[in-house]
Amino acid sequence: MRIPIFTAASLALAVLPCLAVPSYYVSRDNGCEHQVKESITPPHGWTKYAAAPPYHTITLRIALSQPHFSTLEQHLAEISDPDHPRYGAHLSAEEVDALAAPHSDSIRLVDEWLAGHGLKDSDIARSSSKDSLSFTVPVKLAEQMLDTEYNVWRHDDDEYILRTTRYSLPAKLHAHIELVQPTTIFARWKGLKSHLFYEDVEVQTKTLASPLMNVNNFNVVGGGILPAGRVDPNCNYTITLNCLRQMYNIEYTPQAIDQQRIGITGYLEQFANIEDLQSFYKMQRPDALGSDFEYFSVAGGINNQSIEAAGTEANLDVQYAFGLAHPIPGVYWSTAGRPPFQADIATVRNTNEPYQEWLDYMSSFPNPPAVISTSYGDAEQTVPRSYAVNVCRGFAKLTARGVSLIFASGDGGVGDGNPDPETQKCISNDGRNATRFSPLFPATCPYVTAVGGTNSYPEVAVYFSGGGFSNYFPRPAYQSQAVNQFLGKLGNTYQGLYNRFGRAIPDVAAQGRHYAIHSRGKWASIGGTSAAAPVFAAVISLINDARLAQGKSVLGFLNPALYKSAIPGLNDITEGNNPGCGTNGFSATDGWDPVTGLGTPDFLKLKDIYTNMP
């Protein structure tokens, strides 16, 4: 994409009052017809720091209205319902693009508006369905286009971003534009990793000092499928691939390995290190030694292979997803940029929101992996509703193509993603400043499968497992019966602290503590729902393989079949809770609960269920 050149003189003319400039300099909206499109109160923890540097460039992304999205939703409902004749008949990329395309009037009017501000077609990048477009302009021009004022905002954790709390659009464009970002989004998209979950010194010391952690003895931990479903007791202190095989009955040799792939997304300069992966394979999966993954760069993303740059989140994700699913091929995407804006103007950083960037890239990505796991998110209320809805629609487009999207549910219990209950900010962002449970997005999107956490064996809910109810998305029909049963038992407990009509998370769970990973040249113990998500993704990838070997389709959007047919293939977790916001949180119980969802996978049972579906 070419960045248009704007001189100081042309920018000065552009921001003068519309009646004071010659007509050929005035944008087509005249700068006088704007109406507020979106206005927010900045989330807690953010304060205005400084005015935005006027000539710093910013990449604006515009989402256009999608008049046929309800039709796409209907297709998705049919192809993901195991009782529907169309089950598994996933849509092609072209079919999805046709259903996601904006009206031609929307494209024309927005293009005219952009041209009026000096942007040429060659300056604009468009998604394959033309429902999203992006371009790079100086902040000064962005402010004039949106009738707003950008500022540098500082978070209590000493992070900086470039944002505004209100922006406007010409009145004639309101029906055609869903949102413009980055403007009002204050999410930090934290990796849901577990450097904080070396949970306590005693457990950490016991785990890391144990002879079982010595690389020479490492492969004896969880030595394989044990008789009668037994699990090696050492797995209570150290989770390995073999521990997961034992706990979840993963006894299967892939047969259709050339027919699908499993993917991991990487953000915030998290790099998946190949040297660490080989060291991990040497001790935990020797038959995978020498195998690699396919790497794709999104928006200039890199995958720095310096051992010092290895990311614990990225290493955790690829080692367990690809290790469990081997030899099914793996894919890793690195999306460039991170939200924090450096106060030093000479070293400013990208202010993009990574999910829109990645989704635009994926809209034209051929043959996407059948399963994709993501371990990033932030408190839902830090994300404008318009942004959450638009990104969620992007996920729906991918699932309609037959992709199972797996997201970690969060590491803050019922809180805001902060794993320390003492410092959680569970204050509503609606002007009331009331205490409110705070689920994480994108896990709350109804088109993804959210994964919570457990620990120990027999399994109990891990205390930090993110769970609760969305304040943005209504509860989808596929989970109504299971969730209503839980709410009936909950009664009036926590009334007013959560939205009892919202999309409920998590959907499922997996182990979330004491994972042994190899990172930056040494072994470490780590945990979080970011560990549970790639494990569940690997289980689904292996089930896909069994279906493909029978000539059937991959599973695609999982949730309708999970809640309708797959419950007998899940281990119901009935102990534990997820404290936060000054409460004990929700409790695990019989059936679905907002700590462990429907439960953890029993691979052999799930494989039988899914391979007997059409």
Name the nearest CA neighbour of 83 among 561, 577, 453: 561
* Residue 15 scores a pLDDT above 60: no
- Which pLDDT does position 421 carry in this prediction? 63
Of 305 and 176, the one with more pLDDT: 176
Burial, 315: exposed, middle or buried (Cβ in 10 Å; 0-12, 13-18, 19+)? buried
Domain positions in the chain are: 8-66+101-185, 191-611
The CA distance from 36 to 165, in Å, is: 11
pLDDT digits (tens, 9 = 90+) for 108-131: 999 999 999 999 999 999 999 999
244: Cβ contacts below 8 Å, ≥ 6 apart: 222, 250, 320, 324, 510, 511, 535
* Amino acid (one-letter) located at 92: S
Per-residue pLDDT band at 464 (split at 50, 70, 90): very high
Query: How many other β-carbons are positioned within 10 Å of the β-carbon of residue 496?
Result: 11
Of 291 and 419, the one with more pLDDT: 291
**For residues 578-597, average pLDDT:** 96
Strands (E), 187-268: 190-191, 262-266
Strand order across the beta sheet in which 125-126 lies: 125-126, 132-138, 57-64, 177-181
Of 590 and 355, the one with more pLDDT: 590
- Which pLDDT does position 341 carry in this prediction? 46
Per-residue pLDDT band at 345 (split at 50, 70, 90): very low
**For residues 579-604, average pLDDT:** 97
578: Cβ contacts below 8 Å, ≥ 6 apart: 413, 414, 452, 461, 463, 464, 465, 466, 467, 585, 586, 594, 595
- Which pLDDT does position 420 carry in this prediction? 66
| Of 97, 178, 313, 602, catalytic | 313
- Which pLDDT does position 266 carry in this prediction? 87
Backbone angles phi, psi at 461, to 5 degrees: -65, 135
The CA distance from 448 to 417, in Å, is: 18
* Residue 559 scores a pLDDT above 90: yes
- Which pLDDT does position 589 carry in this prediction? 98
* Residue 73 scores a pLDDT above 80: yes
* Amino acid (one-letter) located at 218: F
CATH 3.40.50.200 fits 191-611, yes or no: yes
Backbone angles phi, psi at 166, to 5 degrees: -160, 140
**376 is written with which tokens?**
């990033």
The CA distance from 361 to 335, in Å, is: 10
| Of 404, 470, 530, 587, catalytic | 530
**For residues 71-82, average pLDDT:** 98
Per-residue pLDDT band at 226 (split at 50, 70, 90): very low
Chain mean position to CA 89? 25
Q: Catalytic annotation on 317?
A: yes
- Which pLDDT does position 350 carry in this prediction? 43
Percent of the chain exceeding pLDDT 70 equals: 85
Per-residue pLDDT band at 29 (split at 50, 70, 90): low
Residues making up the binding site for Ca(2+): 572-573, 591, 593
Residues making up the binding site: 572-573, 591, 593
Burial, 137: exposed, middle or buried (Cβ in 10 Å; 0-12, 13-18, 19+)? buried
Choice among 40-54, 319-333, 417-431 with the minimum mean pLDDT: 417-431
Per-residue pLDDT band at 432 (split at 50, 70, 90): confident
Q: Are 364 and 127 in contact (CB under 8 A)?
A: yes
**For residues 508-537, average pLDDT:** 95
Per-residue pLDDT band at 192 (split at 50, 70, 90): low
Q: Catalytic annotation on 131?
A: no
The H or E element containing residue 510 is strand 508-511
Q: Catalytic annotation on 313?
A: yes
Choice among 9-13, 98-102, 501-505 with the minimum mean pLDDT: 9-13
| Of 29, 143, 199, 317, catalytic | 317
Backbone angles phi, psi at 48, to 5 degrees: -70, 130
Query: Average pLDDT of the chain?
Result: 87
* Residue 95 scores a pLDDT above 50: yes
* Residue 246 scores a pLDDT above 90: yes
